[in-house]
Amino acid sequence: MGSTEGGCGCLEVILSHPTLSFIFLLTAVAAVRRYIRDSHKVDGFRDKHVFITGCDTGFGNLLARQLDGKGFQVIAACLTEKGATNLRAETSPRLKTVLLNVTDSESIRKAVEFVRGEVKERGLWGLVNNAGRATPIGPTDWMDLEDFTKVLDVNLIGLIDVTLQFIPLLKKARGRVVNVASILGRLNLVGGGYCPSKWGVEAFSDSLRKDMSHFGVKVSIIEPGFFKTAVTSVDVINADMRRLWTRLPQNIKNSYGVTYLDDYMKVQDFSMGILCSADLSKVTRCMEHALTARFPRTRYGAGWDAKLFWIPLSYLPSFVADFVVNTLLPSPQEAKNK
């Protein structure tokens, strides 16, 4: 009884204050409007082709199975034959697979030709740029240029190349482009090519959205938080950090201190254990909505950490985000000495 009265009291306070009442009303109207817009779906799934990159594992693999189950004509691009074989075994005969290396323009061209033969005059309804990699990551002065390009070539340049080559088929269908960025496309937490690549995906997608709006092609950005995929495997990330540490000049090792690498990996293991969600459907549901909604959103935050922590943090002054990140990570020995 007390909680009910307390709730009514709060509502009375809001309604008795003109400014609060106006804000409350606007928020309620916006929420209802968004719900109504989100609920409108396109039809004819069985006549719509969707091409997805990075389908060996993770988000791409789950999305391919998810859309296949809803009747879409899915064309799943895998990096390996093993990945393609395993996916075909788990889906209907309707789903097709192609081998694709997004860093190879000729490989992309062959995929486009295959897709053109499948879609014919209908064009391509959906392109989901999901393929990506994270490593190498770590302090910036542990890197060389090749470490950056390894990641940028997959996450950004490859994504751009795939998109450019598929644009004619997308324009024919007045379809959708769904680009997988990250909360690290809003907020830099680690050094290396991953954050720059995802910031680049955000910028490219914004330009593409404006340019393609004239042709009826809609562009959405997915911004996942931390999820348990091959990209966030701590074993892979830690092994690569050891590789980076091993090749460092002694003076840089000295500036960080002998315990820095172990301290960094302990923090990373602990953080990933807390933050990483195993429910990949939180991301694939956003992807599906971007492909099926009559009014897809421009951006989709996916995961509790993205919505409640990282995205709000990205709107705060840089010194606040810097303080949070520096609090989480160990300090180099040289900084402690000073």
194 in catalytic set: yes
Hey, what amino acid is at 11?
A: L
What's the pLDDT tens digit per position in 70-123? 999 999 999 999 999 999 999 999 999 999 999 999 999 999 999 999 999 999
pTM for this predicted structure: 0.88
Quote the tokens at residue 9: 């009291």
What stretches in the chain show pLDDT beneath 70?
1-16, 20-22, 24-25, 27-39, 338
| Local structure of residue 186 (DSSP, 8 states) | T
Q: Are strands 218-224 and 176-180 parallel, antiparallel or unpaired?
A: parallel
Backbone angles phi, psi at 52, to 5 degrees: -125, 130
3, containing H or E segment:
helix 2-16
Q: Which own/partner contact pairs does 306-309 have at CB distance under 8 Å and 24+ positions apart?
A: 306/183, 306/223, 306/224, 306/225, 307/225, 309/225
Catalytic residue among 35, 194, 260, 300: 194
| Domains identified in the chain and CATH numbers | 41-227+277-326 (3.40.50.720)
